[in-house]
Structure 1
Amino acid sequence: NRNGVGTRLVSVVQVGDSLYRARVWEDDVAPLACHRVSVVGTRIEIQSTDVTAPSEALDRQALAFGPEVNCLLKQLSVAVVGCGGTGSPVVQLLARLGVGRIVVIDEDVVEHSNLNRLHGATRKDADNAVPKIDVMAREVTRMGLDVEIRSMNGWVDAPHIRDALKSCDVIFGCTDDHAGRLYLNRVAHFYLIPVIDVGLVLMPRDDGEPGLLEMAARISVLFPTSACHGCRGTVDRVRAREEDLQRSDPAEYERQKTEAYVRGAGNPAPSVVTFTSEAATMAVNELIAGLVDFRGTGGWTWQRYRKLDKGFERSQAAQPRPDCPVCGSEEYWGLGDVDPFLDRIG
């Protein structure tokens, strides 16, 4: 009576340190048992009463981490946003690990310039402008590892993609645009879904000679209590606004570019398949650390930065700013569905 007609009540009982039982009351007659409880923080714990056996092809993986890791991976639903140089190897690695369900999200098609780094793509795919998500679905299905894959065509903030994102346990951000990163940043906080963001910098020399000034990969885990993209300085908010304008009003974007109010597209960025694949491997290993803590450091690291040319890696720390509306306050943490979605004004 206090909560109004149609309100669902959830009860959770914790037994010891790691055993959970939960029920949902949709009426005042009888509760429904929750068959799956997830606990997410610096690690992911999943308890389920309905677990299907993982593929026998993963037996050698169990030798490394124990048989429970294959069961955990089988229960996961993982989204991969962006299926290009880093996203396509992430999809391949997740499938071969035995993740139960993968949702791939992208709106681009295969081009000939992608073929040096897009895993699974062929020249025929480029000739026919096949959607990248279709290539991912085809290649995962061909593996025959009993991995469900769902492909969704569109940019990540499209309304028809929201429910698929919200249904996932983990999201890999493999997009190279700043607006997409900020969007996923909010999803992580509103819906308590860890986002593993993949960044790669291959900065060419500015003197016209071949070579690179910087070669680095960055993996960031976004989740409440950790700093968001804005506080870490890993996203350019001005560029994100320009990208949103380019999508929503291309004519206005071109007008502002002509008048130098926005930056135009520069030269294509360098891309090397070994480096994009290394960044993808770093990201997927972070997921494994969140499941089995193979490093013995308590789970995943909020941010890793690897100098690809120097061969060293370090963790990076940034604190949420008290005035940050996303991570500096608990107002948005686990808030869930609101109107407008993610409290974004247009």
Structure 2
Amino acid sequence: MYTTLREHLFPGDGKEAAAILICTRTPGSALKLLSKELILVPYEECTVRQPHTITWPGAYLEKAIDEALPQSRSIILVHSHPGGLFQFSGVDDESDSGTMVSLFQGVEAIHGSAIMTPDGAMRARVYHGGGSPEDIAMVTVPGDDIHYWFPDSSEQQTVLAFTSGMTTTIGHLTAAVIGVSGTGSIVAEQLTRLGFGRLILIDHDQVEHKNLNRILNSTQKDAKDSRAKVDVFADAIEQIRGSKIAQAINKTVFSREAVVAVADADVIFCCVDSHQGRLICDLMASSFLVPLFDVGVTIPTRLSSKGVRQIHDVQGRIDYVRPGGSTLFDRSVYTAQSLSAEELRNTDPKAHSEQVKQGYISGIPEEAPSVITLNMRAASACVNEFIARAFPFREDPNHSYARSKFSLSGCYEEYEAESALPKSENPALAQGAQEPLLGLPPLGAV
């Protein structure tokens, strides 16, 4: 949608062009608009098209109102600034004063306008009723590269990775870490020290003695007191960064509270070991248009010719899922069969022993695997994948790295491009606050 919009707004003739975005909203109290539909205003139907002004038929406003009205969606009027001005001009203000009245009369919702400059940067503002405009704090496009634009600067693309400028940009962002255990605690530690403005931690489990060897910041006392993993890590974040950075949610991600919280995030890090958990993260990424980074590790074993159990490989996998691209389901990270099998195990009295067999080391009932080094390697690769997307530094385009795998046994890494992965139609895209959330009845409003 962004690519189509940019191509339309800059046809190469140096004149302004216009389009309309129909947007849904995320659940929760924060104002976050999600582009759901795009209406292009044909060049030949504009009565005026000049380098600094444009006038187009009211019929397209009526069309937008008709599209937005059934579900009270927001309408954002977009036009180009071919000269590169990253501000709303006096002409823009005057135009909005008339058109916003028509929009509010047609649809009771929050409406606004946006501009785009030739480098693709966008700036947006909204109107609440008939009041003054309010800047949208950030416009983001999570494609192969993840773009962020703020009202005070269009130069995000010049920020170098691993610099203080990157820290400043990251300070505007909220990350959700789903699963704060072996891999997730390491991911959360890195995000904390990178300077994310907010961290949403989601995990329903408590600290036990058996996992002290791989959960950062956990202690003997935490295990003795059976403290929630998210509370332990939130306390650590407060010691490192101060208060009001961490939001701890001691519930499964398959809960309405968790899903509503994640809707506020700008990036999701999926560090769970369950298929259902990955399903929910997949649906949240699509429904709320949030980039998703999924990390997994495994140590498959095999029997030797003498019947001795041996390590077959030591593996890690990182998948980057961009909204509108190939999903974790498309990539068979989880399947309908794996979801059914997992549900069966969870309801079977022998589920615990079976889950242990399906843990880090296949075929070995190991409850306290010594895997922190493997987890560190995978977690670092996962967070570096985010940095590479938001602050590109690789020699090759990010498109080539939709999935990466490494083998510590074989000492190799391999990558798959977005174009090489299967992709199906995704009806969940930009569903936002539509009930039931994520299309799942158990997550519906009470």
Q: TM-score range by the shorter chain?
A: 0.7 to 0.9
Q: 1:10 aligns with which of 112, 120, 133?
A: 112
Letter of the 2:318 counterpart: I
Conserved 8 A contact 2:405-2:413? yes
Please state if 1:331 is matched with 2:331: no
Please state if 1:265 is matched with 2:355: yes
Conserved 8 A contact 1:104-1:133? yes
Letter of the 1:89 counterpart: I
In structure 2, relative to structure 1, the CA distance for the partners of 1:113 and 1:47 (3 Å cut) is same
Please name the residue that 1:55 is paired with: none
Q: 2:256 aligns with which of 159, 174, 186?
A: 159
Q: Which has the higher contact order (CA 8 A, sep 6+)?
A: 1
Please name the residue that 1:302 is paired with: 402
Q: 2:198 aligns with which of 101, 104, 111?
A: 101
Match of 2:113, SS state, is strand
Letter of the 1:221 counterpart: Y
Q: How do residues 26-175 of structure 1 correspond to structure 2 at under 5 angstroms?
A: 26-49=128-151, 65-144=162-241, 148-175=245-272
- How many angstroms apart in 2 are the aligned matches of 1:63 and 1:192? 25
In structure 2, relative to structure 1, the CA distance for the partners of 1:147 and 1:44 (3 Å cut) is farther
- The CA deviation at 1:99 is 1.4
- How many angstroms apart in 2 are the aligned matches of 1:332 and 1:64? 32
Q: Structure 1, residues 152-177: CA drift from partner, whole Å, max 9, x if none?
A: 11010201112210000000000000
Conserved 8 A contact 1:90-1:284? yes
Please name the residue that 2:81 is paired with: none
Conserved 8 A contact 1:104-1:149? yes
The higher radius of gyration belongs to 2
- How many angstroms apart in 1 are the aligned matches of 2:161 and 2:322? 28
Please name the residue that 1:344 is paired with: 440
Please name the residue that 2:348 is paired with: 254
In structure 2, relative to structure 1, the CA distance for the partners of 1:145 and 1:210 (3 Å cut) is farther
Please name the residue that 1:285 is paired with: 384
What's the C-alpha RMSD, in Å, of the aligned pairs? 2.7
Match of 1:108, SS state, is coil
- How many angstroms apart in 2 are the aligned matches of 1:165 and 1:202? 30
- How many angstroms apart in 2 are the aligned matches of 1:108 and 1:330? 31
Q: Structure 1, residues 107-166: CA drift from partner, whole Å, max 9, x if none?
A: 101111101111111122111111110111121222247781111110102011122100
Match of 1:124, SS state, is helix
Q: 2:276 aligns with which of 172, 175, 179?
A: 179
Conserved 8 A contact 1:174-1:197? yes
Conserved 8 A contact 2:303-2:309? no
Match of 1:309, SS state, is coil
- The CA deviation at 1:227 is 1.6
Conserved 8 A contact 1:203-1:214? yes
- How many angstroms apart in 2 are the aligned matches of 1:223 and 1:19? 19
Letter of the 1:265 counterpart: Q
In structure 2, relative to structure 1, the CA distance for the partners of 1:328 and 1:239 (3 Å cut) is closer
- How many angstroms apart in 1 are the aligned matches of 2:147 and 2:108? 30
Match of 1:296, SS state, is coil
Query: Relative to structure 2, which stretch is displaced further, 177-186 or 268-277?
Result: 268-277
TM-score where L is the length of structure 1:
0.84
Letter of the 1:254 counterpart: D
Q: Structure 1, residues 66-122: CA drift from partner, whole Å, max 9, x if none?
A: 432111111110000001110000011111111111111001011111011111111
- How many angstroms apart in 2 are the aligned matches of 1:189 and 1:197? 14
Which blocks of at least 5 consecutive residues in structure 1 are unaligned?
52-61, 248-252, 322-326
Q: Structure 1, residues 188-247: CA drift from partner, whole Å, max 9, x if none?
A: 111110110011111233456454112110000112343212221221432323445676
Conserved 8 A contact 1:226-1:302? no
In structure 2, relative to structure 1, the CA distance for the partners of 1:65 and 1:254 (3 Å cut) is closer
- How many angstroms apart in 2 are the aligned matches of 1:190 and 1:64? 29
Conserved 8 A contact 1:99-1:147? no
- How many angstroms apart in 2 are the aligned matches of 1:345 and 1:200? 31
- How many angstroms apart in 1 are the aligned matches of 2:427 and 2:255? 24
- How many angstroms apart in 1 are the aligned matches of 2:289 and 2:417? 20
- The CA deviation at 1:341 is 1.5
In structure 2, relative to structure 1, the CA distance for the partners of 1:197 and 1:209 (3 Å cut) is same
- The CA deviation at 1:343 is 1.6
Identity of aligned residues (%): 30
- How many angstroms apart in 1 are the aligned matches of 2:139 and 2:161? 25
In structure 2, relative to structure 1, the CA distance for the partners of 1:225 and 1:64 (3 Å cut) is closer
Letter of the 2:339 counterpart: A
